[in-house]
């Protein structure tokens, strides 16, 4: 007897995929008002599906998501008021965001030891801006950063686990907010003994001192806006460390009431043979060689790919909400939905023996959209690969290209001037005197 392929329910396949991370009973922790139709469970499903949809406007995304959910959960009552849903989403976000984020992070934490970079649990951090509609409330609350005439913006800073390519934490704020400030809000969530890498916009005395005191390591780029001192690492100092290579100290004038941070300076070359200055608190070259430090900093490129996937592949570069509260809620759900999609893909890639950081956002996006189309049409297709099988194949194309990828007539991309070398100066007599007075004061206190 010939083998007959079994018909699959795409509806159940979609439910099972999401339920592996967020089972329905998980949402019972959120209390719901008896008079509202938008429960946290419904808000989660609608917001997630909206973020995965190709439609342009919020109305089109909302209608498409509601049509899908009516097929997935026939017993649910799904409202058709977009304004009511958006208001419920803004109200529910403060209590839903952190539990959902912690749930996603829990699955990332399972693979921290399995996907290390040169033996380190490496995290990268970087920020990016997302445009919002030019409305009066958005302009007043979000602000317009950058050049004159730009639209209101939402600023996002992401903490990414470099080994898996998965997010670990993120913060959102007005376009005028500082990425350093957003990192300060996230640094307490770093797992023990992490290594942080970032570009020159993040380095500060406070960050280096905090990471060192909390037993974290770092490889940070340093630019011309930072002054480093030599000659402050004498062996008679209580905070002196065994160092190799070129040793420098970070000791700004405003922080002279605290000991200097002793760093190891590493100068490497980028792809265009330009010098790149890095500093680290790992002074033993056997623990972290110059080549390892350069490779760790190079892998920070994963953050660029993360933002490219979010902005271009998933089409979230421009927000649609006309109020600042709505824009922040919209962007939050974009990040959470993208994180969930990447997590589902990474789990299948790991199970099949592939590297999770090689996921293809475009292939994962297309796989989910194909499944959702068949959920709505209700026509199971024989011999079509399952969602899990498609996600197993959602890896970037590594084949060599015959021709250039960039089109010929493309607007000239923005050419940011790279950071220059740091200002390295020998410690003056006044610096040494201040250091000696500080040492005497600290000894007296102890």
- Cα–Cα distance for residue pair 330/68, rounded to 1 Å: 19
Going across the sheet that includes 122-131, the strands are 166-174, 153-161, 122-131, 195-198, 217-221, 275-280, 261-269, 246-250, 227-230, 423-426
What pLDDT shows up at residue 280? Answer: 97
User: Please, are residues 366 and 198 in contact by the beta-carbon 8 Å criterion?
Assistant: no
Please report, for residues 1, 7, 383, 385, the alpha-carbon distance to residue 4 in angstroms, rounded to integers and kept in the order given. Answer: 9, 9, 10, 15
Q: What residue spans define the domains of the chain?
A: 10-377+385-393
Q: How is residue 395 annotated by DSSP? A: B
Q: Measure CA of the first residue to CA of the last residue in the chain; give whole Å.
A: 87
Which residues of the chain fall short of a pLDDT of 70? 1-8, 33-35, 146-149, 233-245, 378-383, 398-415
What pLDDT shows up at residue 203? Answer: 95
Helix (H) or strand (E) holding 324: helix 324-351
User: Please, are residues 364 and 3 in contact by the beta-carbon 8 Å criterion?
Assistant: no
What pLDDT shows up at residue 2? Answer: 42
Q: What is the dihedral of CA 222, 225, 229, 233, to 10 degrees?
A: -40
What pLDDT shows up at residue 374? Answer: 87
Q: What share of the chain is helix, strand, coil (3-state, %, to 5)?
A: 45, 15, 40
Name every residue whose Cβ is closer than 8 Å to that of residue 51 and which is 6 or more positions away in sequence: 314, 316, 333, 334, 336, 337, 338
Q: What is the dihedral of CA 320, 326, 329, 334, to 10 degrees?
A: -10
Burial letters for 169-184: b for 16+ Cβ neighbours within 10 Å, e otherwise?
A: bbbbbbbebebbebbb
Name every residue whose Cβ is closer than 8 Å to that of residue 350 and which is 6 or more positions away in sequence: 111, 114, 356
Q: What is the pLDDT of residues 156-208, one digit of tens each?
A: 999 999 999 999 999 999 999 999 999 999 999 999 999 999 999 999 999 99
CA quadruple 155, 336, 53, 370: dihedral positive or negative?
A: positive
Name residue, tokens 């500093």.
279
Angle at 157 between CA 151 and CA 161, to 5 degrees: 145
Query: Distance between alpha carbon 390 and the CA centroid of its chain, in Å?
Result: 25
- Cα–Cα distance for residue pair 60/62, rounded to 1 Å: 5
Q: What is the pLDDT of residues 271-288, one digit of tens each?
A: 888 899 999 999 999 999
Please report, for residues 104, 126, 365, 374, 426, the alpha-carbon distance to residue 168 in angstroms, rounded to integers and kept in the order given. Answer: 8, 12, 21, 32, 39
What pLDDT shows up at residue 235? Answer: 43
User: Please, are residues 58 and 320 in contact by the beta-carbon 8 Å criterion?
Assistant: yes
What pLDDT shows up at residue 240? Answer: 44
What pLDDT shows up at residue 411? Answer: 59
CA quadruple 154, 157, 163, 168: dihedral positive or negative?
A: negative
Name every residue whose Cβ is closer than 8 Å to that of residue 92 and which is 6 or more positions away in sequence: 30, 38, 40, 43
Query: From its phi and psi, is residue 118 left (phi > 0), alpha (psi between -120 and 50) or beta?
Result: left
pTM for the predicted model, two decimal places: 0.91
Helix (H) or strand (E) holding 85: helix 82-109
């Amino acid at each position: 007897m010939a083998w007959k392929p079994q018909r699959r329910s795409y509806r159940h396949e979609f439910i099972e995929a999401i339920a592996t991370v967020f089972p329905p009973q998980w949402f019972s922790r959120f209390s719901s008002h008896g008079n509202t139709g938008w429960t946290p469970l419904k808000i989660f499903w609608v917001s997630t599906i909206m973020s995965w949809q190709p439609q342009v406007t919020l109305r089109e995304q909302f209608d498409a998501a509601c049509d899908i959910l009516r097929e997935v959960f026939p017993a649910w009552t799904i409202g058709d008021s977009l304004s009511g849903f958006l208001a419920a989403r803004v109200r529910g976000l403060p209590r839903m965001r952190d539990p959902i984020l912690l749930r996603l992070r829990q699955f990332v934490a399972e693979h921290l030891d399995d996907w290390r970079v040169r033996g380190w649990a490496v995290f990268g951090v970087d920020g990016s801006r997302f445009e919002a509609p030019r409305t009066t409330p958005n302009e007043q609350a979000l602000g317009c950063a950058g050049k004159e005439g730009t639209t209101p913006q939402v600023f996002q800073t992401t903490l990414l686990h470099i080994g898996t390519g998965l997010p670990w934490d993120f913060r959102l704020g007005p376009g005028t907010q500082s990425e350093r400030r957003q990192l300060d809000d996230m640094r307490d969530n770093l797992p023990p003994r992490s290594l942080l890498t970032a570009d020159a916009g993040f380095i500060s005395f406070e960050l280096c001192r905090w990471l060192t005191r909390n037993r974290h390591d770092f490889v940070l780029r340093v630019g011309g806006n930072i002054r480093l001192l030599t000659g402050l690492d004498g062996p008679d100092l209580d905070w002196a460390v065994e160092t190799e290579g070129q040793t420098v100290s970070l000791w700004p004038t405003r922080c002279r009431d605290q000991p200097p941070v002793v760093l190891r300076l590493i100068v490497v070359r980028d792809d265009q043979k330009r010098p790149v200055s890095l500093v680290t608190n790992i002074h033993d070259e056997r623990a972290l060689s110059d080549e390892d430090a350069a490779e760790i900093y190079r892998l920070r490129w994963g953050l660029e790919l993360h933002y490219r996937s979010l902005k271009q592949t998933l089409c979230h570069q421009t927000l649609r909400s006309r109020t600042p509260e709505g824009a922040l809620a919209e962007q939050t759900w974009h990040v959470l939905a993208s994180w969930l999609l990447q997590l589902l893909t990474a789990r299948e890639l790991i199970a099949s023996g592939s590297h999770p950081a090689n996921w293809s956002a475009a292939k994962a996006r297309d796989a989910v959209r194909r499944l959702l189309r068949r959920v709505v049409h209700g026509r199971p297709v024989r011999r079509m690969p399952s969602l899990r099988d498609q996600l197993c194949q959602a890896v970037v194309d590594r084949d060599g290209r015959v021709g250039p990828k960039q089109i010929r007539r493309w607007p000239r991309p923005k050419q940011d001037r790279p950071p220059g070398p740091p200002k390295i100066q020998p410690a003056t007599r006044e610096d040494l005197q201040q250091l000696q007075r500080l040492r005497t004061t600290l000894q007296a206190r102890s």
